[in-house]
Amino acid sequence: MAVKIVLLVVFFAVFVVVGILCRKSSHSVDGFVLGGRTVGPWLTAFAYGTSYFSAIIFVGYAGQFGWNFGLASTWIGLGNAFIGSLLPWAILGRRTRIMTQHLGSKTMPEYFGQRYSSKGLKVASSAITFFFLIPYTASLFNGLSRLFRMAFNVDYSICVIVMAVLTAVYVIVGGYMATAINDFIQGIIMLVGIVAVIAAVLSKHGGFMGSIVELSKIESGELSGGFASFFGPDPLYLLVVVLLTSLGTWGLPQMVGKFYAIKSEGSIKIGTVISTFFAIVVAGGCYFLGGFGRLFTTQDVVSKEGFDSIVPTMLSGLPDVIIAVVLVLVLSASMSTLSSLVLTSSSTLTLDFIGGLKKKKSGEKSNMFVLRLFVAVFIFISAAIAIFQAKSKATFIAQLMGISWGALSGSFLAPFLYGLYWKKTTKASVAVSFAFGTVLMIIQLCISLGWLNVSGSAFLSFIFKNSLYSGVFSMLASMVIVPLVSLCTRKTVPEGTDEMFSCYDRTVTVAAKNILTESKEN
């Protein structure tokens, strides 16, 4: 117990101190939201990775999908690494950094407003962001409850309140730079922690090979040994999960926002490698660990306690030192994601929604005050929802959390991507994408709650099988909808598009020492 308490006290103290030390960089809106666009590759890559992976993945998804797919759930982690980390850095990173600096946009809604010359799109996207990020943020707290009960036997509400207060302190004081530095520290903890936990858990069944042998003995329907097979017992469902959790990052404001702040072209190249490596270890490790969940619990226990009980059960018999490492690991994952979501939501609400509705532009001091105020408000609302959901078991909130990712990425992915690469993307196509993504996922929510029934249609039953299927359909459909609607609504192409895209062709002078040149032969 002493080891656990000491580690947590040191953990929290470090982050508060970092927030205080970074206060000088958070006096302006640009510094508070983007760190002055001077963040290096290591901090940006770790900020991207730690914002991506939280307690939701380690406790919830690793347990649930490890139970469903067995060892094949590792593909989800690898998909997260290559589709969700490598490709966004390679395809979105450079163009996002150049275009957003050229437009002067600090958030995704502000980008939509300036890229498509539409105040309405700016306000609409900020409302979608704020509404769907709140339940996603609240879900971060839920992954901690069972672990803290197992380790400390303390009330879940106390854990939520402490975590919320400490996150609020370092975000309000230090802004983006404090978040980025703390994300780096948290990322190191996650890398070391996941390796240590995997080794400790697998040792219970004779190591890696012994665990695979035991897993292959478990029946999996028609496929004998399916939980130890290459693609698991349900390859189609596995593909859906990979796509949602990987492709979804391309349209999430808190993820794409990391590219706004990166320092230089060279930083993007280095960050791509670091981010991919981080995802392979952390995401791949989490899902790989979850794949052995059936060795530690039974179907009856899962039916009674839920999927969130699987990973804590796997860890319950480990030495206290390993349990302490796990607690710090999960706290690191959760607080880093929480700080990113809070900063994204508060800046969106302040600069885009409220700022978009005001006729008179607010001053720097006014915006800074409102930004910090909404950081506190957003954390308070998220914590209150998490505590309420845990106490009341409200299914509405639980279902809303499940559709958040699909709604955000289904609405934003295609308009953002096409906006960076295709001059002919129209305002109308963006509006249709926003409407399609949000309406589709709201329908999914109604079906999940039993308010709608689509069992009469085979196609609709497949699309709305659960929020994972509808989320993937929303993202893929928007990639088709935006170009089709754009071709039919050419009159709504915003003026000045050629000037916007000129930022990619701007000529710069580079010192000779920074570039290799061919010598001319005489």
pLDDT tens for the chain, residues 1 to 522 = 676 677 777 877 887 787 787 777 667 777 777 666 677 788 888 888 888 887 677 777 888 888 888 888 999 999 999 999 999 999 999 999 899 888 988 888 889 999 999 989 998 998 898 888 877 777 776 656 656 666 666 777 777 788 788 878 878 887 778 778 877 887 888 888 888 888 888 888 788 888 888 888 877 665 566 677 778 778 899 999 899 889 988 988 888 888 887 877 778 889 999 999 999 998 999 899 888 888 888 778 777 777 777 877 787 777 777 777 777 777 777 777 777 777 787 777 777 777 666 666 667 777 788 888 888 888 888 788 777 776 766 555 555 666 888 899 999 999 999 999 999 999 999 999 999 999 999 999 888 878 888 888 888 898 998 888 999 999 999 999 999 999 999 999 998 899 999 988 876 665 655 555 454 544
Closest CA to 83 of 402, 475, 371: 475
Report the Cα–Cα distance between both ends of the chain, in Å, rounded: 77
Angle between helices 119-152 and 427-448 (to 10 degrees): 40
Helices (H), 449-494: 458-463, 467-488
Are the C-beta atoms of 262 and 38 separated by less than 8 Å? no
Kindly state the DSSP code that residue 39 receives in the 8-state scheme: B
**Alpha-carbon span 331 to 319, nearest angstrom:** 18
Helices (H), 153-206: 156-202
**Alpha-carbon span 99 to 510, nearest angstrom:** 20
Closest CA to 147 of 69, 227, 54: 54
Reading the block at residue 452, the tokens are 């709608």
